[in-house]
Structure 1
């Protein structure tokens, strides 16, 4: 499985994994703003954007192994791996399965706990509806309104419109596959103690999908972590407040470099 990947810039490799149900297109401001400091790689996770879905059973672990294969293909031994929402789930799985390949970790608007039974059942119902209808209309109806915060809804109409367009362009088969993969993911809180690299945890102050408690649970379980709350942002911090997101990542990368030296 080869992931379609935008690869730009030079310096420390930084892999950014996108949220559900978007694609690597969500990282436009990061490619533009971080390429002077990092080699920024933004893959489309399997089935999204320019990447094929393949025939594997739905699994976040499979998606993490795709990222490891991407590093192999790019001749990158170690990288900062970061993900937002679903991308965070993949980052956590990558850390469990490929810890020796981490320079650092960024976990944005995500959580390490598994889904509660009701949430898992809701994901399966959504996947079934997507498959039955052959469309992602259910995501536009039920998920889109919660992807961005009230500040963005009120004052950043272009951002909301862009997010809506990205959701609309999601292939139904990929959306259903990913919902099933997220529903089946294991609890990763216990594994966080094994993360031996610095971790940056980012949380949108207006995030309606992931709570501050979710973020603090990860920070408390990690050996070396910092929590930064991004004001005026809902779930999609990298899209809603790109400058604040980029500033946090830049400082994190600079601190990593000082530590290595």
Structure 2
């Protein structure tokens, strides 16, 4: 199965994996800015945007293998691979299964630990409602208010409206599949200590879904990591504070490009 992706720019390949339940449309500001220095590849993960859902059982490993197949199709051997939220879970799975293809790692507003039993159960209940309702109303009610921070809610109405539109566009079947995949994902904290490449951890200071403790745990576990805290941003740092996000990623990826020549 081939993922739909947007592929712009030249230079060191930079793969960015989107949050749940959005699509690669969330990376608009990154494609516009970072493509001046890098080859920016932003796929729609399985079932979202322009990518088909397919028939595989829900798994972040399946999603990671989809990304590897996309790199094969694009003729890319190694890339800086990053993801935000669910995209971070897929990035960690990619590192576990395809570490030889990673130049560097970007983990934004995500965590390496598995779901607690309660969190996994909540995901499965949400998946069941998505399948029963055949709408994403449950995501608009329960998730959307937590996706962006209070500063964005107060001062960035256009950004909030854009995020709401992206959530509304999510196919219910894909959202249910992804919830089941995330509920079943393994703990990856131990994996981080084995990764040989540099990493950038990004966290929005107003994030209510993942915590600064989650971000610091990843940065501490990684052998070579830097942590960037983004002020006045909630969970979607790349959307809420694109300039600060882009500056951090560009500095990190440019340094990698120099060291791998």
TM-score band, normalised by shorter chain: over 0.9
Structure 1: 4+ residue segments shifted above 4 A: none
1:178-189 equivalences under 5 Å are 178-189=178-189
Q: Match of 1:194, SS?
A: coil
CA distance in 2, matches of 1:24, 1:140: 19
Describe the superposition over 1:216-244 as per-residue Cα deviations: whole angstroms up to 9, x where unpaired. Answer: 11011101000000001000000000000
CA distance in 1, matches of 2:143, 2:81: 26
Structure 1 unaligned spans of 5+? none
1:129-148 equivalences under 5 Å are 129-148=129-148
Equivalent position of 1:167 in the other structure = 167
Deviation at 1:115, TM superposition (A): 0.2
Equivalent position of 1:43 in the other structure = 43
Equivalent position of 2:193 in the other structure = 193
Equivalent position of 1:11 in the other structure = 11
Equivalent position of 1:109 in the other structure = 109
CA distance in 2, matches of 1:194, 1:78: 18
CA distance in 1, matches of 2:143, 2:254: 35
CA distance in 2, matches of 1:217, 1:255: 24
CA distance in 1, matches of 2:259, 2:210: 30
Structure 2 unaligned spans of 5+? none
Q: Match of 2:87, SS?
A: helix
CA distance in 2, matches of 1:107, 1:213: 14
Equivalent position of 1:73 in the other structure = 73
TM-score (norm 2): 0.99
Q: Match of 2:3, SS?
A: coil
Matched, 1:100 2:92: no
CA distance in 2, matches of 1:258, 1:62: 32
Q: Match of 1:98, SS?
A: helix
Deviation at 1:188, TM superposition (A): 0.3
Deviation at 1:257, TM superposition (A): 2.4
CA distance in 2, matches of 1:203, 1:217: 12
Root-mean-square deviation (CA), in Å?
0.6
TM-score (norm 1): 0.99
Equivalent position of 2:204 in the other structure = 204
Equivalent position of 1:216 in the other structure = 216
